[in-house]
Amino acid sequence: MKYPKLSILALTAATAFSACNSKLDIAPSNALDNESAVTEANARILANGLYERAQELEYYGRDFNVVTDVTGNDMKITAANSNRFLYEFQYIFTPLTASQSKTWLNAYRVANQASVIIDKLPETATTKEYKGEAYFMRALAHFDLARRYTRPYSQMKNDATKANTGVPLAIKAVDNPATSKPSRATLKETYDAIISDLKAAKNLAPDAATKTEKVFRGSKAAASALLTRAYLYVGDTSNATDPNWQAVIDEATPLINAFPLWSDANYLANYTTNNPTSEDIFSLRFLTPENRGADNFGNIYLPNDGTSTSGYGDVRLNQNFMSLLEAADYRNTIVKTFSGNNYMMKWIGNGLGLTGMSNVKVLRVSEVLLNRAEAYMRQGNLQLAANDISNLRQHRGLSAFTASDFNSVRAELIKQRRLELVGEGFGATDLFRFMGKRSIADADALRQSEILPTSQYVAFPIPQTEIDANPNIVQNPGYNK
């Protein structure tokens, strides 16, 4: 069908990117037939549209992080539920039943709108930073798509150059979206594009310092933080001299020096403020006009306790997670025990008086620190890895970590990633990246099978609507039955 042109108002409100068919939505490029829309005067508005699109309910507004966590080992859904995320938790999703078609669509809307800014916006001293933000957001969108729809790079080192192992790359503004039917890149091409965009963002994006409003924009620091994740994920775990490990360390160290770790005994308070905290490197801020009521991010986790919260409480912390917590750990403050269940309270609200409406923390320095610890571990520098792990532990009220053998360091690293990043969209990513098995033993959890890291379900199916609309898209293995 023919896409309509978009006004600048529709473009920046992120509500009118036509989705009347399910082919990769590249309507933002079509809007550029109107050259008056993409100008230096509108650059800030265009960049803001990137964040608005990323905040959609089916992306960082809720679903992306929730799905990554309910398919990991630390959350459960019981028979008392509101019928959300059941297919994902039970690993019974198909190309037709996985509630991910709009996540796919919204991530590509971000990537395509970013390409519009990069390719079409005249480059001036004023617009340079906005192009940098666009490079960062395009990298983030492609990275999220890779995490959801491809296998972990660590499992694919011998197959990363094979056809259809990556995702389609929206790295160029498309002038005729109705005829654009992109095919999948290789996994290597996908991560190469992500890293290339992040390097460009480091050159162009604005600077951001700790506890400043700039952490709500894609900045040089945000690009560097995401690079630590990208280099870590593509590193060859069988090769201690892989240059990716040193690249993680080189990107991470200046950030660790610039963004102080929290040391609050009330750890939860860092999540319930509308102000940037010392650890925040990139967050998506949700303000009162973005209130979604019952669909606010936190409500899927919060209990209906009759007093302070009235959430669905569908997604609860399970015994796998609770067994990791030590009594002295400040992170106990994110847990509320109510009627025999343990609820995660990170996303109770950001201080604006709206339950469950929270600023979403996408990149924090604690993750960067753990990324560096893992890179040191992969290099064989176990004492340096232990030092980083110990640093985080001591900022969370725990004793120093003293072991320095590989197995102990690896086990504590995984444990600290689970404790620190729970509810922030890392559950399944980390589980399968470390070749773990998904297994939840809680007696009241909905029935689900154990999922091995070799399972087809590690990579989600590409939505069937996308397969139907684009004959050049190849489905992930195991979903063509």
Provide the pLDDT for residue 227. Answer: 99
Find the radius of gyration of the CA atoms of the chain: 21
Q: Indicate the pTM of the whole model.
A: 0.93
- CB within 8 A of 49, min separation 6: which ones? 11, 12, 13, 14, 113
Q: What is the pLDDT along the chain (481 residues), one digit of tens a residue?
A: 333 333 222 232 233 233 333 344 444 433 444 455 788 888 999 999 999 999 999 999 999 999 999 999 999 999 989 999 999 999 999 998 765 678 999 999 999 999 999 999 998 998 999 999 999 999 999 999 999 999 999 999 899 999 999 999 999 998 777 778 899 999 999 999 999 999 999 999 999 999 999 999 999 999 999 999 999 999 999 999 999 999 999 999 999 999 999 999 999 999 999 999 999 999 999 999 999 999 999 999 999 988 888 899 999 999 999 999 999 999 999 999 999 999 999 999 999 999 999 999 999 999 999 999 999 999 999 999 999 999 999 999 999 999 889 999 999 999 999 999 999 999 999 999 999 999 999 999 999 999 999 999 999 999 988 898 899 999 999 998 5
447 in any annotated domain: no
Domain extent, residue 314, equals: 270-275+291-352
335 in any annotated domain: yes
315 in any annotated domain: yes
Which residues on neighbouring strands pair with residue 99, listed in sequence order? none
Total domains in the chain come to 1
pLDDT single digits (tens) 307-320: 888 899 999 999 99
181 in any annotated domain: no
280 in any annotated domain: no
5 in any annotated domain: no
**CB-count exposure of residue 257 (10 Å: 0-12, 13-18, 19+):** exposed
Provide the pLDDT for residue 98. Answer: 63
Provide the pLDDT for residue 39. Answer: 85
Query: What is the DSSP annotation of 327-372?
Result: TT-GGGGGEEEETTEEEE-TTS--SSS-TT---EEEEEHHHHHHHH
Provide the pLDDT for residue 481. Answer: 59
Q: How many CA atoms lie within 13 A of 451 on its CB side?
A: 23
* Of 480, 422, 430, 476, the residue nearest 453 (C-alpha): 430
450 in any annotated domain: no
Provide the pLDDT for residue 30. Answer: 39
Dihedral angle at the C-alpha atoms of 243, 244, 247, 248, nearest 10 degrees?
-140
55 in any annotated domain: no
* Distance from C-alpha of 194 to C-alpha of 196, rounded to nearest angstrom: 5
Structural element, H or E, at residue 469: helix 464-469
Amino acid, single-letter form, for residue 183:
S
